[in-house]
Structure 1
Amino acid sequence: MNEMSVEPGRIPAPDRAAKRRQWDQMISAKQTVSTYAVLLDGGRLETLELTAAQVEGFECLTCKVQCGSGSEAFQPVGRIPSVGSVFQCVACSGGAR
């Protein structure tokens, strides 16, 4: 834990490295692959093998990059019925990847 001054009774916020480790552990726990029927924008229905991280919107539908900024920003590209939206990074949706 970090060595910060904190008011008595308050729990210090985790440092940036600890938050990153927690995020990485959560993403690695969501790498189980299952098959889903995905209704893509435009009405095409496809059966895709996706990780739980992709299904839950943490990773790009195509390249599995995690959501970020710039070319790694996400936009919705379809839905999994009874689950929710699926996303693709700007680079993939623009054909750069």
Structure 2
Amino acid sequence: MNEDVRLTAWVRGKVQGVGFRWFTRANALQIGGLRGFALNLEDGRVQVVAEGPRAQCDLLLDWLRAGDTPGRVDGVTEIWDTPRGGYESFAIR
């Protein structure tokens, strides 16, 4: 159950211009073991890609949905996949 996975999440709401990506990165680093990025999309959403152990990705997804984030999260859509690699740490793009 703790195999490495790839989580891709799209976060809707007031999530741009409020430090959301920075706090997402800080939280991912605090959870530990995650690599990936947070990226503003042109349609106002933030895309979060995280690779690492399933348990850590679940913690990040729970945080994204919990409402304890900057701005306002109206919803999160996610997909799970196998890791693709290529990330050295968790970055803001």
What range is the shorter-chain TM-score in?
under 0.3
Q: TM-score, normalised by structure 2?
A: 0.25
Structure with more relative contact order (C-alpha pairs < 8 Å, separation 6 or more): 2
- Which one has the largest radius of gyration? 1
Q: TM-score, normalised by structure 1?
A: 0.25
Q: Which has the higher strand share?
A: 2
